[in-house]
């Protein structure tokens, strides 16, 4: 049991060092492609995890499988269409995680149904490799789904920004710091487990469906 738990935490740490930088770099790239150099100039258009990791979000990812990183700075004044630009930039991160989840599922199925049966390797090693791909898939789905919740500082709140009247948005943002701690407490109490599990399972089922040809 202890070894299995330790293994899970090691894989989650791998996700922290891979999926989160790719998630945040996708935000920076999407904003940069729309003419905004802010994130690039501040060193956020990078796959180096250090500029992206947030202490609270990282701890949550490690122990719960959900979490967040430091928000990528953007200047919407560079966008030709501000609302469209905000939505595209916000969705770029979760979209990157969905693509990583899809890649992980493809690798998982290739390993389990094609590669492993064709080679000689111990079951323990084969199982560990399969679990790495499987957990990487699940945690990338978790990261995408969690970040689409429409509350600060998550990506869903940036999408909400594009549809909310400005005065309501700024009123919400005044309490962003308190909302972050509220989200932390709610997650630890498990109050979001049901809705998040439903969305996670829906995304997993979709990815499983489109990779069904592999097994």
Return per-residue pLDDT of the chain as tens, 215 residues. 556 677 778 887 887 789 999 999 999 999 999 999 999 999 999 999 999 988 888 887 777 766 778 889 999 899 998 889 989 999 999 999 999 999 999 999 999 999 999 998 998 899 989 999 998 999 899 889 988 988 777 898 888 877 777 777 677 667 766 777 777 787 778 887 888 899 999 999 999 999 999 98
The tokens describing 79, both together, are: 């966008």
Give yes or no: 24 in active site: yes
Query: In this structure, are residues 62 and 13 in contact, taking their beta carbons and an 8 Å threshold?
Result: yes
The tokens describing 118, both together, are: 């064709």
Among candidates 146, 186, 152, 153, which has minimal Cα distance to 65? 146
What is residue 189's predicted lDDT score, i.e. its pLDDT?
Answer: 80
What is residue 113's predicted lDDT score, i.e. its pLDDT?
Answer: 94
Query: In this structure, are residues 131 and 7 in contact, taking their beta carbons and an 8 Å threshold?
Result: yes
The tokens describing 101, both together, are: 């989840």
| Distance from the Cα of residue 96 to its chain's centroid | 8
Of the candidates 16, 19, 24, 79, the residue annotated as catalytic is 24
pTM for this structure? 0.86
- Please return the burial class of 7, using the count of CB atoms within 10 Å of its CB with bins 0-12, 13-18 and 19+: middle
What is residue 59's predicted lDDT score, i.e. its pLDDT?
Answer: 82
Among candidates 214, 106, 92, which has minimal Cα distance to 144? 92
Measured between alpha carbons, how far is 174 from 59 in angstroms, rounded to an integer? Answer: 24
Q: At what angle do helices 176-189 and 55-64 cross, to 10 degrees?
A: 10
Q: Which residues of 90-107 are buried (b: 16+ CB within 10 A; e: fewer)?
A: bbbbbbbbbebbbebbbb
Sign of CA pseudo-dihedral 156, 161, 165, 170: positive
């Amino acid at each position: 049991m202890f070894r299995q738990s330790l293994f899970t935490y090691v894989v989650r740490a791998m996700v922290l060092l891979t999926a989160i930088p790719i998630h945040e770099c996708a935000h920076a790239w999407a904003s940069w492609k729309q003419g905004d150099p802010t994130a690039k100039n501040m060193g956020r258009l990078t796959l180096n995890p250090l500029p992206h990791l947030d202490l609270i979000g990282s701890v949550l990812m490690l122990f719960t499988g959900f979490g967040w990183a430091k928000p990528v700075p953007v200047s919407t004044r560079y966008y030709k269409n501000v609302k469209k630009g905000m939505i595209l930039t916000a969705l770029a991160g979760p979209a990157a995680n969905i693509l990583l989840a899809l890649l992980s599922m493809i690798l998982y199925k290739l390993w389990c149904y094609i590669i492993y049966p064709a080679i000689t390797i111990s079951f323990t090693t084969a199982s560990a490799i399969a679990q790495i791909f499987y957990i990487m898939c699940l945690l990338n789905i978790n990261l995408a789904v969690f970040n689409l919740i429409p509350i600060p500082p998550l990506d869903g709140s940036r999408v909400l920004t594009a549809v909310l009247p400005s005065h309501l948005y700024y009123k919400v943002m005044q309490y962003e710091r308190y909302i972050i701690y509220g989200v932390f407490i709610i997650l630890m109490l498990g109050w979001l487990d049901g809705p998040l599990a439903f969305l996670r399972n829906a995304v997993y089922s979709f990815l499983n469906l489109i990779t069904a040809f592999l097994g």
